[in-house]
Chain A
Amino acid sequence: MEPDLWRQWQTIAAQFASLGQGPAPAAQGSQAPRDAFGFSPFIDSAGRFAAEARAFIESSANGSASSVIDAARKFSDFLRDQALGAQPPWAAAFGMGNPNAAGAAAQWDTPAMGATREHQQRTQRMVEAWRRIDDAQRRLQRLWSDTLRDAAASFAARVGTVQPSVPSAEAPNRLYDTWIDCAEDAYARMAHGDEFCGALADYVNASSQWRGEMQGAIEQWAKMLDLPTRSEINTLAKRLKALEERLRTAQTQRRPKQAKPRQRQPKVAASRPRSARRKAKT
């Protein structure tokens, strides 16, 4: 095994790249095979992690207790910075991005008037939903940042109190797993909390309202152009489903009564005393 984790991962990356080259046209560039596997972010991240981890291990192995704490703090700050730029997964889970509310809101703050009042009001509702999305996203991002801060503090506390032994190939792996454990623990504490659940719900609910208003606006345009709308298609789908259900009911009622099927006898009596309930742990 390579003694250096970074080199080890570089070697693996090179193997990935050579796997993908084959008959691929040269025009695709040297990065294409590696990127094609989707591993580039992990390889790059691993490279940065290995370099920082190596610096931490070396400085802490040769230094005093206070320098170990400093090195741990620096390393945990690096880890926090690494994760801070990542998009939290829940942002994509509910299908909405940031509609950039702040810039668009101001021009719709005046009262809706005139023949297009209904459409102005819809737009105002959309803008209001944008504001709520934006607010919820800020709250979520702040909680995400707090999580990373707590994770980093926890990580620094855990690794700062342990004097590393001689640097080895496994040391970065252990550090990395320790960081993940700290991060997941901090995340779980945050994710179970009322503040996060409330912010997430506000984000989803505002996004749903925004989407509903947008659908209404698009349907308005579709009607003007005599294009079919989703509402019309839904109405047809509901009618079809109702017809299918009536047909199924009619078929069931018209089916002749069948002879009673043969029933096999159970091997043992199905009914047992309540005390027969069992729990097994393996």
Chain B
Amino acid sequence: MTGAGAHAGPPGAERGAAGCSGRDAVWQSGKITLFRYRPIARPAGGVPLLIVYALVNRPYMMDLQEDRSLIRGLLAAGLDVYLIDWGYPDGADRFTTLADYIDCHLAGCVERIRETHRLDALNILGVCQGGVFSLCYSALHPQHVRNLVTMVTPVDFHTPADLLSKWTRKIDVPAWVGEGNVSGEALNQLFLSLMPFRLTQQKYVHLLAGGLDPARMENFMRVEQWIFDSPDQAGAAFREFVVWLYQENRLVHNTLEIAGRKVDLRALRLPILNLIGKRDHLVPPESSAALERLVGSDDYTALELDLGHIGMYISERAQREVPGKIAEWLAAR
């Protein structure tokens, strides 16, 4: 342990944050892995729920620790939970497109689950950017999705409070991305720039001022590790996402095409539960709420929670309310 003591973190900080619930890899395609979580309660007997997380951070935020795990809450409600881990793209993935992610990898995961359970359709929970993927997939393959839950999902990218959108509007994104990937580290800096005083100063001062309680430090460091554990983004998919959605707002204008096929949200007739964070600084609530006027579903429910973007996964309130609401809503359908 030569010198390691000098660089060891505070208590709890050294532990890996790969998730706390038991799970098995059931399918792989390149760097993408489909996990199935082991049950912890009597099965509720419904169709499986596939969680589609964003590309920009790692999905273990959904299963951070036993008392802060949305996945654990879903398992406790008896749901059969699957999750897509997109992995860490590298230089070989620079030409991976949105069509590859949605119509190949996501579609492959759905197909695998359908084969396993001999089902036509399953339930999908899309989170943030994963919610956009889920909307696209559901519009392209409506026969394979029974119920759709979207969580802190941007839909209208041109709402007044959307700072990221304003910043990217005049940027020459193809030139910025070039033919390479986009560094996760650079994206982290971009996200910090949204609230620089709070995110680069105040939270650390508060941490110091609150004392060194090991449990509190462990909680803090787990989230901290997650925040800065940002995979690089496959260049082509990133370019398409920013240009088509942040700049051109194609979901709202009904002009988005994936793999040469139109993504028409009006064709979505399935039941939809839309979970919205009222204090979300990354995805303004108005951006998520726009889904209601765009989809053709008659069974649409919006649930606004007084939470921020990350609080939607890990806050105490989210633990109390979100899994139960999802399970209850699914059970009724």
Contact = CB atoms under 8 A, between A and B. Distances in A.
A207 B171 CA distance: 11
A277 B178 contact: no
A245 B322 CA distance: 39
Nearest to A22: B5
Interface string A204-231: 1101110110010000000000000010
B300 A277 contact: yes
Bin chain A's interface residue count. Answer: 35 or more
- Binding site secondary structure of chain A: helix
A33 B92 CA distance: 39
B261 interface: no
B302 interface: yes
Interface stretch (B31-39, B60-68, B185-193, B250-258): B185-193
Contact of A16 (B47, B121, B212): B212
Contacts of A281: 278, 304
B166 A192 contact: yes
Given A42-B201, A90-B189, A264 B302 contact: no
Interface residues of B, number: 74
Interface in B291-315: 292, 298-306
Given A197-B166, A237-B92, 17 more contacts: A9-B208, A13-B208, A25-B2, A88-B196, A92-B186, A94-B186, A176-B202, A184-B197, A191-B163, A191-B193, A192-B166, A215-B178, A267-B332, A277-B298, A280-B301, A281-B278, A282-B306
Interface of A: 5, 8-9, 12-13, 15-16, 19-25, 28, 32-33, 36-37, 39, 42-43, 45-46, 83, 88-90, 92-95, 173, 176-177, 180, 183-184, 187-188, 191-192, 197-198, 200-201, 204-205, 207-209, 211-212, 215, 230, 234, 237-238, 241, 248, 260-264, 266-268, 270-274, 276-282
Interface of B: 1-11, 47, 92, 94-96, 104, 114-115, 118-121, 146, 163, 166-167, 169-172, 175-176, 178-179, 183, 186-187, 189-190, 192-198, 200-202, 204-205, 208-209, 211-212, 269-271, 278, 292, 298-306, 321, 331-333
22 contacts: A45-B201, A90-B193, A93-B192, A184-B198, A191-B194, A201-B167, A205-B170, A205-B175, A208-B176, A230-B179, A234-B94, A241-B95, A241-B96, A261-B114, A264-B119, A267-B333, A268-B332, A270-B271, A270-B333, A274-B298, A276-B300, A279-B301
